[in-house]
Amino acid sequence: MEKSKSLQTKIYEIAIRRNSTITAYFKFVYALIILVLALGGYFTFVNHPLGRTFYQVGVNFGRAALVLLAIVVLPGILGRFQIEIPITRIIILFRRQLGITVFLLAFTHYQLVRGLLFYSKQMPFILPRPLFEFFGFWALTFLFLMFLTSNNFSVKKLGKWWKRLHRIVYLVLWLLVLHTGLQRISIWTYLIGIFAVLEIVSFFYSYLVSSRQRSSQTPEAKSS
Protein backbone atom coordinates (compact mmCIF):
# COMPACT_ATOMS: atom_id res chain seq x y z
CA MET A 1 0.00 0.00 0.00
CA GLU A 2 2.84 2.35 0.87
CA LYS A 3 4.53 1.60 -2.44
CA SER A 4 1.28 2.39 -4.27
CA LYS A 5 0.94 5.70 -2.44
CA SER A 6 4.57 6.51 -3.12
CA LEU A 7 4.08 5.82 -6.83
CA GLN A 8 0.97 8.01 -6.94
CA THR A 9 2.88 10.82 -5.24
CA LYS A 10 5.69 10.52 -7.78
CA ILE A 11 3.20 10.67 -10.66
CA TYR A 12 1.61 13.75 -9.12
CA GLU A 13 5.00 15.46 -8.77
CA ILE A 14 5.80 14.68 -12.41
CA ALA A 15 2.43 16.15 -13.42
CA ILE A 16 3.23 19.37 -11.52
CA ARG A 17 6.65 19.65 -13.13
CA ARG A 18 5.20 19.08 -16.61
CA ASN A 19 2.07 21.12 -16.07
CA SER A 20 2.63 23.39 -19.07
CA THR A 21 3.42 20.44 -21.36
CA ILE A 22 0.31 18.52 -20.31
CA THR A 23 -1.80 21.68 -20.73
CA ALA A 24 -0.41 21.98 -24.28
CA TYR A 25 -1.50 18.38 -24.94
CA PHE A 26 -5.01 19.32 -23.82
CA LYS A 27 -5.02 22.15 -26.36
CA PHE A 28 -4.07 19.62 -29.02
CA VAL A 29 -7.03 17.48 -27.94
CA TYR A 30 -9.34 20.53 -28.20
CA ALA A 31 -8.11 21.16 -31.74
CA LEU A 32 -8.57 17.49 -32.66
CA ILE A 33 -12.19 17.48 -31.42
CA ILE A 34 -12.94 20.67 -33.40
CA LEU A 35 -11.32 19.11 -36.50
CA VAL A 36 -13.55 16.04 -36.15
CA LEU A 37 -16.58 18.32 -35.90
CA ALA A 38 -15.51 20.26 -39.00
CA LEU A 39 -14.98 17.07 -41.02
CA GLY A 40 -18.27 15.65 -39.79
CA GLY A 41 -20.01 18.85 -40.84
CA TYR A 42 -18.47 18.72 -44.31
CA PHE A 43 -19.36 15.07 -44.99
CA THR A 44 -22.86 15.55 -43.61
CA PHE A 45 -23.63 18.62 -45.75
CA VAL A 46 -22.35 17.00 -48.96
CA ASN A 47 -24.38 13.90 -48.01
CA HIS A 48 -21.30 11.67 -48.23
CA PRO A 49 -21.57 8.10 -46.83
CA LEU A 50 -18.83 9.03 -44.33
CA GLY A 51 -21.42 11.22 -42.66
CA ARG A 52 -22.92 8.08 -41.11
CA THR A 53 -19.49 7.14 -39.75
CA PHE A 54 -19.22 10.53 -38.08
CA TYR A 55 -22.65 9.94 -36.58
CA GLN A 56 -21.20 6.95 -34.71
CA VAL A 57 -18.16 9.03 -33.77
CA GLY A 58 -20.60 11.51 -32.25
CA VAL A 59 -22.24 8.75 -30.20
CA ASN A 60 -18.83 7.69 -28.89
CA PHE A 61 -17.91 11.29 -28.09
CA GLY A 62 -21.03 11.49 -25.92
CA ARG A 63 -19.97 8.38 -24.05
CA ALA A 64 -16.45 9.76 -23.61
CA ALA A 65 -17.94 12.99 -22.19
CA LEU A 66 -19.88 10.96 -19.60
CA VAL A 67 -16.75 9.11 -18.49
CA LEU A 68 -14.70 12.32 -18.25
CA LEU A 69 -17.45 14.09 -16.33
CA ALA A 70 -17.52 11.23 -13.82
CA ILE A 71 -13.74 11.59 -13.44
CA VAL A 72 -14.04 15.37 -12.94
CA VAL A 73 -16.53 15.06 -10.04
CA LEU A 74 -14.72 12.12 -8.40
CA PRO A 75 -12.30 14.17 -6.20
CA GLY A 76 -15.17 16.14 -4.67
CA ILE A 77 -17.09 12.97 -3.85
CA LEU A 78 -14.05 11.29 -2.27
CA GLY A 79 -13.19 14.47 -0.36
CA ARG A 80 -16.63 14.63 1.25
CA PHE A 81 -16.29 10.98 2.23
CA GLN A 82 -12.87 11.90 3.70
CA ILE A 83 -11.14 9.40 1.43
CA GLU A 84 -7.68 10.44 0.35
CA ILE A 85 -6.31 9.02 -2.89
CA PRO A 86 -3.22 10.95 -4.00
CA ILE A 87 -3.79 10.22 -7.69
CA THR A 88 -6.98 12.32 -7.60
CA ARG A 89 -4.79 15.37 -7.04
CA ILE A 90 -3.88 15.10 -10.72
CA ILE A 91 -7.57 15.34 -11.61
CA ILE A 92 -7.85 18.49 -9.46
CA LEU A 93 -4.69 19.89 -11.06
CA PHE A 94 -6.18 19.59 -14.55
CA ARG A 95 -9.88 19.86 -13.64
CA ARG A 96 -10.36 22.97 -15.76
CA GLN A 97 -8.86 21.34 -18.85
CA LEU A 98 -10.87 18.18 -18.27
CA GLY A 99 -14.06 20.24 -17.89
CA ILE A 100 -13.40 22.05 -21.18
CA THR A 101 -12.83 18.69 -22.86
CA VAL A 102 -16.14 17.41 -21.46
CA PHE A 103 -18.00 20.36 -23.02
CA LEU A 104 -16.26 20.06 -26.41
CA LEU A 105 -17.00 16.33 -26.54
CA ALA A 106 -20.64 16.90 -25.53
CA PHE A 107 -21.06 19.76 -28.01
CA THR A 108 -19.56 17.71 -30.86
CA HIS A 109 -21.73 14.77 -29.79
CA TYR A 110 -24.88 16.87 -30.23
CA GLN A 111 -23.79 18.37 -33.54
CA LEU A 112 -22.83 15.03 -35.11
CA VAL A 113 -25.90 13.08 -33.99
CA ARG A 114 -28.55 15.82 -34.33
CA GLY A 115 -27.49 19.39 -35.08
CA LEU A 116 -25.82 18.84 -38.44
CA LEU A 117 -28.69 16.65 -39.60
CA PHE A 118 -31.12 19.48 -38.77
CA TYR A 119 -28.99 22.17 -40.45
CA SER A 120 -28.60 20.08 -43.63
CA LYS A 121 -32.35 19.22 -43.60
CA GLN A 122 -31.59 15.51 -43.60
CA MET A 123 -33.70 15.25 -40.45
CA PRO A 124 -36.83 17.39 -40.00
CA PHE A 125 -36.93 19.58 -36.91
CA ILE A 126 -40.40 18.83 -35.54
CA LEU A 127 -41.69 20.03 -32.18
CA PRO A 128 -42.05 18.71 -29.61
CA ARG A 129 -38.74 16.86 -29.64
CA PRO A 130 -38.33 13.59 -27.70
CA LEU A 131 -37.98 14.10 -23.95
CA PHE A 132 -34.45 12.69 -23.83
CA GLU A 133 -33.35 15.45 -26.23
CA PHE A 134 -34.91 18.06 -23.95
CA PHE A 135 -32.83 16.90 -20.98
CA GLY A 136 -29.73 16.57 -23.15
CA PHE A 137 -30.20 20.12 -24.43
CA TRP A 138 -30.34 21.58 -20.92
CA ALA A 139 -27.36 19.52 -19.79
CA LEU A 140 -25.37 20.91 -22.73
CA THR A 141 -26.59 24.46 -22.01
CA PHE A 142 -25.37 24.28 -18.41
CA LEU A 143 -22.07 22.76 -19.52
CA PHE A 144 -21.74 25.70 -21.92
CA LEU A 145 -22.14 28.18 -19.05
CA MET A 146 -19.41 26.35 -17.14
CA PHE A 147 -17.23 26.27 -20.26
CA LEU A 148 -17.60 30.04 -20.75
CA THR A 149 -16.49 30.71 -17.18
CA SER A 150 -13.60 28.21 -17.10
CA ASN A 151 -10.94 30.92 -17.04
CA ASN A 152 -9.11 33.11 -14.52
CA PHE A 153 -10.96 36.24 -15.65
CA SER A 154 -14.34 34.72 -14.77
CA VAL A 155 -13.07 33.41 -11.44
CA LYS A 156 -11.88 36.90 -10.54
CA LYS A 157 -14.98 38.76 -11.76
CA LEU A 158 -17.62 36.36 -10.42
CA GLY A 159 -15.99 35.82 -7.02
CA LYS A 160 -18.10 33.58 -4.80
CA TRP A 161 -20.69 33.30 -7.57
CA TRP A 162 -18.19 31.38 -9.70
CA LYS A 163 -18.29 28.43 -7.32
CA ARG A 164 -22.06 28.63 -7.06
CA LEU A 165 -22.42 28.66 -10.83
CA HIS A 166 -20.20 25.61 -11.24
CA ARG A 167 -22.28 23.69 -8.73
CA ILE A 168 -24.83 23.22 -11.50
CA VAL A 169 -22.68 20.24 -12.45
CA TYR A 170 -24.71 18.33 -9.83
CA LEU A 171 -27.87 19.14 -11.80
CA VAL A 172 -26.12 18.23 -15.05
CA LEU A 173 -25.44 14.74 -13.71
CA TRP A 174 -29.16 14.11 -13.14
CA LEU A 175 -30.09 15.63 -16.50
CA LEU A 176 -27.70 13.17 -18.12
CA VAL A 177 -29.23 10.29 -16.17
CA LEU A 178 -32.57 11.23 -17.74
CA HIS A 179 -31.00 11.89 -21.15
CA THR A 180 -29.45 8.42 -21.32
CA GLY A 181 -32.16 6.56 -19.41
CA LEU A 182 -35.07 7.81 -21.50
CA GLN A 183 -33.40 6.42 -24.62
CA ARG A 184 -32.73 3.05 -23.02
CA ILE A 185 -31.29 1.90 -19.71
CA SER A 186 -27.66 1.13 -20.47
CA ILE A 187 -24.26 0.96 -18.83
CA TRP A 188 -23.95 4.71 -19.47
CA THR A 189 -27.14 5.36 -17.50
CA TYR A 190 -25.79 3.29 -14.62
CA LEU A 191 -22.38 5.00 -14.78
CA ILE A 192 -23.64 8.57 -14.57
CA GLY A 193 -26.46 7.51 -12.21
CA ILE A 194 -24.00 6.05 -9.71
CA PHE A 195 -22.02 9.29 -9.64
CA ALA A 196 -25.20 11.39 -9.36
CA VAL A 197 -26.31 9.33 -6.34
CA LEU A 198 -22.81 9.43 -4.82
CA GLU A 199 -22.85 13.23 -5.02
CA ILE A 200 -26.02 13.37 -2.92
CA VAL A 201 -24.87 10.70 -0.46
CA SER A 202 -21.46 12.36 -0.04
CA PHE A 203 -23.08 15.73 0.75
CA PHE A 204 -25.37 14.05 3.27
CA TYR A 205 -22.42 12.20 4.83
CA SER A 206 -20.35 15.39 5.02
CA TYR A 207 -23.24 17.20 6.69
CA LEU A 208 -23.67 14.42 9.27
CA VAL A 209 -19.96 14.39 10.09
CA SER A 210 -19.90 18.18 10.47
CA SER A 211 -23.00 18.12 12.68
CA ARG A 212 -21.53 15.37 14.85
CA GLN A 213 -18.28 17.29 15.25
CA ARG A 214 -20.13 20.46 16.26
CA SER A 215 -22.35 18.65 18.75
CA SER A 216 -19.39 16.83 20.32
CA GLN A 217 -17.59 20.07 21.11
CA THR A 218 -17.55 21.08 24.76
CA PRO A 219 -18.79 24.54 25.79
CA GLU A 220 -15.17 25.50 26.44
CA ALA A 221 -14.15 24.48 22.93
CA LYS A 222 -17.07 26.42 21.44
CA SER A 223 -16.22 29.56 23.41
CA SER A 224 -12.59 29.37 22.35
In a domain, 20, yes or no: yes
In a domain, 218, yes or no: no
d(CA 133, CA 130): 6
In a domain, 81, yes or no: yes
d(CA 93, CA 8): 14
DSSP state of 129: P
Count: domains in the chain: 1
Q: What is the pLDDT of residue 224?
A: 47
Q: Output 81-90 pairs: Cβ under 8 A, ≥24 positions apart.
A: 81/202, 81/205, 81/206, 82/209, 85/8, 86/5, 86/8, 86/9, 86/12, 87/8, 87/11, 87/12, 89/12, 90/11, 90/12, 90/15
Q: What is the pLDDT of residue 68?
A: 97
Contact 74, 88 (CB under 8 A): yes
In a domain, 221, yes or no: no
Alpha helices in 46-168 (DSSP H): 50-80, 88-93, 95-110, 116-119, 131-148, 152-158, 160-166
Q: What is the pLDDT of residue 222?
A: 52
In a domain, 223, yes or no: no
Mean pLDDT by 10 residues, the chain (224 residues): 62 85 94 97 89 92 97 95 87 94 98 94 89 96 96 91 92 97 95 97 92 72 50
Contact 58, 113 (CB under 8 A): yes
In a domain, 219, yes or no: no
Q: What is the pLDDT of residue 125?
A: 87
Q: What is the pLDDT of residue 80?
A: 93
Q: What is the pLDDT of residue 6?
A: 65
Q: Which range of residues forms the domain containing residue 199?
A: 2-212
CATH code of the domain containing 108: 1.20.120
Q: What is the pLDDT of residue 1?
A: 45
In a domain, 132, yes or no: yes
